[in-house]
Structure formats: structure tokens, C-alpha cells
Amino acid sequence: MNDAAPDIGPGAVTRLEAVEHRIQRAARIAGRNADEITLVAISKTHDAAAIEPLLHAGHRVFGENRVQEAQEKWPAMRARYEGVKLHLVGQLQSNKAEDAAALFDCIHSLDRNSLLKALAKAFDKLDRRVPCFVQVDIGDEPQKGGCPIPELPAFLERARLADIPLAGLMCVPPQGIEPAPFFALLDKLARDNGLETGTGLSMGMSGDFETAVKLGATHVRVGSALFGERPAQG
């Protein structure tokens, strides 16, 4: 790990501590152990100057949306900070499957047959099998991506046959609607499909991660509560 602390103010570390406290409190209310919950810091669009304060504070799990962006900024930081785990949380194009398999430690957006085949081929080629969450179209919003609920059992079976390590299920609830029923449904889908043992639920973001924790989330994907609003895209 880098010996010298980045030249920063207290904001990033304070936000990290606040988010961790909120996760612990939500877990306690639900009778859960907070150690069962992984905080994925969503660092997409943020540069090293914004990310390194969290790394120096000891946080090691980060999420990126795009393969190319992660390829550009993470190798140097990984060389300085040991133990970093990178999660791909955005939609993955099939032609980027091999690059994603080489770079990421977990993929949260397995959602269609073409990607399943591309990842299986990449895992075999690299002799590396990356755990994947199957993204579920929990709110029947095809524009978001995600496996339709009626197709989920068959899709999970195809993933198992392809020797894809299943990390669990992931969802992004519709905006502007109470998320709790969607989180509860994802938990039910996991149990109905035999995923309750040794697998997880990737659900909850900055605005609703406490609700997700109370309803069984094992991975929460938090960006703005840690980094502030994302920089404007040019």
C-alpha cells in the first residue's frame, strides 16, 4: 500500500465512515451481521484523486461501469494498493467479455444468452472463472437490461451448465417507486431458484441501500453517498 496519504480533506473518509455506520445500523435492525454485507464503492467517472482517499482509508472493493475506463485508471492504483477487488456493475457488451474476465473480480450484469456464451468462452480461454450476478429485470423495464423474471430459471440452468460461477442475483428497481417490494421479490427469486446458500443479492444504491440491507442485500452499490455527485460528462 502507498505509504503517504493523499493530500485531501476529510470529506471522503467522513462519507465512508457515515455509509459504513448506516450499513451497520440497518443490519442491526434486521438482526443481521454487517460483516456479511459488501460495500461496493461505485467509482465510475471518478479519477484517482477522488478514489485514493478511500483506498488509503482501507476500502478495497470498487465498482466500475465500463471496461475501458477501468482499464485506463485501475492498473496504476492496483500496483500501489494491495487487495483491490474490482466489480463490473454496468452493462457488458459480449465483445468485451474477455477484457472484463481478465480485469474484474466480479460481474454484476450477466443478463442474456449471448453474454453468457461469450463469458464462458473467455473464462475457458483465460483459465479464470469470475463470479457473476445474474441481473434480473425486476421492474419489467427492458431498456435497463436484465433477464426477464419468467426466463430466470432456464437462464440460471444454462449458466450452471456453462460452468459460470453464480454469485447470486442483482437488480435495479424502477426509479420513483418504493424499492422495498422489488428487493423482497429478488430475495424470493433467489430462494425459489436455489440460490440462498452461498450466493448473494446485489441490490441497493445511495438512495436505498439501508432498505436493501434490511431485506437481505449482501452487496450494496454506493456511489454518490461516497464520492458526491458524479462529474458532468463531456
**109 closest CA partner among 63, 161, 55, 150:** 63
Whole-angstrom distance, CA of residue 24 vs CA of residue 174 = 26
Confidence of residue 232 (pLDDT cuts 50, 70, 90): low
Q: Is residue 222 part of a domain?
A: yes
Entry field: residues in the chain: 234
pLDDT tens digits, residue range 112-155? 999 999 999 999 999 999 999 999 999 999 788 899 999 999 99
Task: Report the pLDDT value the prediction gives residue 8, as an integer from 0 to 100.
Answer: 45
Whole-angstrom distance, CA of residue 222 vs CA of residue 219 = 10
pLDDT tens digits, residue range 80-92? 999 999 999 999 9
Q: Is residue 232 part of a domain?
A: no
Tell me, what CATH number does 184's domain have? 3.20.20.10
Q: How far is CA 24 from the centre of its chain?
A: 19
pLDDT tens digits, residue range 44-77? 999 999 999 999 999 999 999 999 999 999 999 9
Its pTM stands at 0.92
Show the cell assigned to 94. 459480449
Domain count for the chain: 1
Q: Is residue 122 part of a domain?
A: yes
Q: DSSP characters for the chain? A: --SSPPS--SHHHHHHHHHHHHHHHHHHHTT--GGG-EEEEE-TT--HHHHHHHHHTT--EEEES-HHHHHHHHHHHHHHSTT-EEEE-S---GGGHHHHHHH-SEEEEE-SHHHHHHHHHHHHHHT----EEEEB-TTS-GGG--B-GGGHHHHHHHHHHTT--EEEEE--PPTTS-SHHHHHHHHHHHHHTT-SSS-EEE---TTTHHHHHHTT-SEEEE-HHHH-SPPPP-
Q: Is residue 177 part of a domain?
A: yes
Show the cell assigned to 162. 456453462
Q: Is residue 5 part of a domain?
A: no
Range of the domain at 93: 11-227
Residue 225 reports pLDDT greater than 50: yes
Task: Report the pLDDT value the prediction gives residue 5, as an integer from 0 to 100.
Answer: 44
pLDDT tens digits, residue range 1-56? 444 444 444 588 899 999 999 999 999 999 999 999 999 999 999 999 999 999 99
Q: Is residue 1 part of a domain?
A: no
Q: Is residue 234 part of a domain?
A: no
Q: Is residue 119 part of a domain?
A: yes
